[in-house]
Structure 1
Amino acid sequence: MSDPVVLTDCCLAPTVSASSASYAQKETLAFEGGVIVFVGEEASLPRDYAQAPRRSVEGRVVTPGLIDCHTHLVYAGSRAREFEMRLTGASYEEIMRAGGGIFSTVEATRAAGEDELLESALSRLDRLMAGGVTTVEVKSGYGLDIETELRMLRVARALEVHRKVTVRTTFLGAHAFPKDMTADDYLTHICLPALDQAANEGLVDAVDGFCETVGFSRKQIGRVFDRAKALDLPVKLHAEQMSDQKGAMLAANHRALSADHLEYLCADGVAAMAEAGTVAVLLPGAFYALGETQLPPIQTLRDAGVPMALATDCNPGSSPTTSLLLIMNMGAVLFGLTPQECLKGVTVNAARALGLKDRGTFEVGMRADIAIWDVTDPAELTYRMGDAPLKQRVFGGELC
């Protein structure tokens, strides 16, 4: 149990209230035993904490620790040459023929041992943490065989052993399927058995899939979701990134934690997500890197009250970034989100997208995961294009 700490002169950035101008500049925040025990004016601080050490943050912005709720952090290899080919007009088919695309990452990841995967993932994680991240989701999906999918998940689990961060693991065996197999055969002989084994080893917190014309059909994803339900695991889905396959409706019907990407999301899908409480995870990094033009239906999601989260989608093919702050800026500039929506998207709504109810807001009883920024206006975090300086992280009440 950590000793009590009192932070004074905080500019607490709001993650619940609707107004971006409603932040408090002289608030006091106290935490003990890894949880928040007081939020308010210093004059109202309970007597129990009168003698606790005080640290003035001198009017700096204080937010809940940031949450990156969609990453592919564990992988090997690089696809920089593929990026160069795209810039010169190469089609996806041409890139695939040249050895690029997801299968180049699969090949490199299969060839990498756990130590190599861990080292590279820790490097990416360190950059996320330097940007205020205290919780991160990590997917499998670059193995497409049982051995490598499990290896990726073991590495993801190991990250929080080596760093002060919470890691949520997601099984994404239904990411793609090998060239020499049909999708259904892959599900039957590799994906679903890998999921069973991963669940038996305690390696999985949630189950994901890629519902798209170049991925898996609704019926095939339904098989994955049914197995997840049998294993008592929550689900989420890559949906409507390239076309409207009604994946978000499928996800909502299974009470999914989130549906992610959503550029081609239809009104019926929005309504289904609103009814189910499914979070819309927006991924502007992939939108930007792939030069997409179809925007997610932001206003329709707003009007329906669907919570919107933001995430890096850190991956080698379509979003090679480890800056959640840059994603906040992209969410504002490319998608038209307000700075307040961007902040909620990487705190309270991101927590909801991971099924976590103990973080993301400044409330008594919540985890003391906190980021202190060397800025004095919360809008700076979105405005500064990824370079808002982090003064200090607090993880579970421990000053890092």
Structure 2
Amino acid sequence: MSTAPRFDRLLCGLRLVTLADAQGYGLIEDAALGFVGEHIAYAGPLSGVSAAARTQAREIECFDNALATPALVDCHTHLVFAGTRAPEFEQRLQGVSYTDIAAAGGGIRSTVRATRAADEDALFAASLPRARALLHDGCATLEIKSGYGLDVDSELRMLRVARRIGAALGISVRTTLLAAHALPPEFDGRSDAYIEHVCSEILPAAHAAGLVDAVDAFCEGIGFSPEQTRRVFAAAQALGLPVKLHADQLSDLGGAALVAEHGGLSADHIEFTSDAAVQRMAERGTVAVLLPGAFLCLRETRLPPIESLRTHGVPMAVSTDCNPGTSPLLSLRLAMNLACTLFRLTPEEALRGATLHAARALGLKDRGALRPGLRADVAIWPLQDPAELSYWLGGAGPERLYVGGAPVVG
């Protein structure tokens, strides 16, 4: 019998999907979870919990053979924005390319106009329901990017709203500055000048306000060049901030290798990433973030280099890329299904991608698995098999979701 500490909360009658080992679900039948404060103190067979520990637990909850997994982590979203781009969705269905829409003043710029016009309360009211949908889908941790303001005031307003969302919902929100997302109209024809503005004005202001957990950029032909991206990374790392990158989505500009060179947290999209760049990611510990929602909505055909990522042992995260233009996706479980059906991930890979590897893509080592010492971020599902998390297209979310040991859903 264990000599477990007195539990603040003890959950019994579970089938645990621990993800505690390098491979496999780590399934434990007839199991229990014990929380002390915000952390897991016990994760194992119910028989390993002494009678005394059971009777002394402050709160006990019993389930009927429910499936318990780490709470989901959505590591790449743009969910703070105003307006909608449904008309562009119609245009793309009629054959207009994303690049042509952007060149005509649509795309990111149209969302920039709407977002700049919204005050903080309006932006919060528009964005909160999107975050709540992800919460009820099983997400306890969200990354939220800026990038639809593209000036000091608007970028900081987006980041403040992101932090407000975390406080309002009782979840973890990691904020990423994506000022190098697109060229604002006032800098037309002066992309180098805008990058200087990002590095000397927007980034220092956001950092001074304590609103930045990481820095991102869009390295692409319709975004910014590798050299401009290097300048953003240098400015971020001078402030001690980690970097990540929208890399190789539409072409191979060497973005994945570039962010790996800088020890970046993740390279995201990576449809056009080369095998050599994958090797560089493996060497530097850079996570590959797969975004099948954007792949689907843009009707892309170039698959990410999944076999190369497997061969070289690069962790593969899965995320919604929730955004108004190319991935209006409000279910991480649906993103998991798409990663399986479109990219041929296994359900186990998809679950690891939406938990353990997604946390790693945010630089978080304290969540994503069920083992003692980690945060008690746990989802309880009315399911029999962990593969069902990737199998169902829609359906009910978790019957209970705990964030830091406290129930926030159910």
1:108 to 105, 110, 114: 114
1:65 to 56, 63, 71: 71
How many residue pairs match? The answer is 399
Aligned to 1:59, what secondary structure does the other structure show?
A: strand
User: Take 1:259 and 1:57, find their aligned partners in 2: how far apart are those partners?
Assistant: 39
> Residue 13 of structure 1 corresponds to which residue in structure 2?
17
> Residue 97 of structure 2 corresponds to which residue in structure 1?
91
> Residue 392 of structure 1 corresponds to which residue in structure 2?
400
Matches within 5 A, 1:73-88: 73-88=79-94
Aligned to 1:74, what secondary structure does the other structure show?
A: coil
> Residue 3 of structure 2 corresponds to which residue in structure 1?
none
Identity of aligned residues (%): 52
> Residue 213 of structure 2 corresponds to which residue in structure 1?
205
> Residue 137 of structure 2 corresponds to which residue in structure 1?
131
* Segment of structure 1 superposing worse, 114-123 or 40-49: 40-49
2:29/2:45 contact within 8 Å kept: no
> Residue 312 of structure 1 corresponds to which residue in structure 2?
320
Matches within 5 A, 1:1-400: 4-17=8-21, 20=24, 22-46=26-50, 49-51=53-55, 52=57, 53-92=59-98, 95-96=101-102, 99-179=105-185, 180-190=188-198, 192-400=200-408
User: Take 2:131 and 2:329, find their aligned partners in 1: how far apart are those partners?
Assistant: 11
Q: CA deviation at 1:156?
A: 0.8
TM-score, with normalisation over the residues of structure 1?
0.96
Q: Give CA deviations for 1:56-94 in whole Å, capped at 9, x if unaligned.
A: 221111111110000001100100011011111223465
Q: CA deviation at 1:19?
A: 5.0
User: Take 1:192 and 1:128, find their aligned partners in 2: how far apart are those partners?
Assistant: 34
Aligned to 1:210, what secondary structure does the other structure show?
A: strand
* Segment of structure 1 superposing worse, 181-190 or 123-132: 181-190
RMSD of aligned residue pairs (Cα, Å): 1.6
User: Take 2:276 and 2:190, find their aligned partners in 1: how far apart are those partners?
Assistant: 30
Aligned to 1:58, what secondary structure does the other structure show?
A: strand
* Segment of structure 1 superposing worse, 122-131 or 36-45: 36-45
Aligned to 2:372, what secondary structure does the other structure show?
A: coil
Structure 1 stretches lacking a partner, 5+ long: none
User: Take 1:380 and 1:344, find their aligned partners in 2: how far apart are those partners?
Assistant: 14
Q: Give CA deviations for 1:336-384 in whole Å, capped at 9, x if unaligned.
A: 0000000000111011000011111111111111110111111110000
Structure 2 stretches lacking a partner, 5+ long: 1-5
Q: What is the one-letter code of the residue matched to 2:202?
A: A
TM-score, with normalisation over the residues of structure 2?
0.94
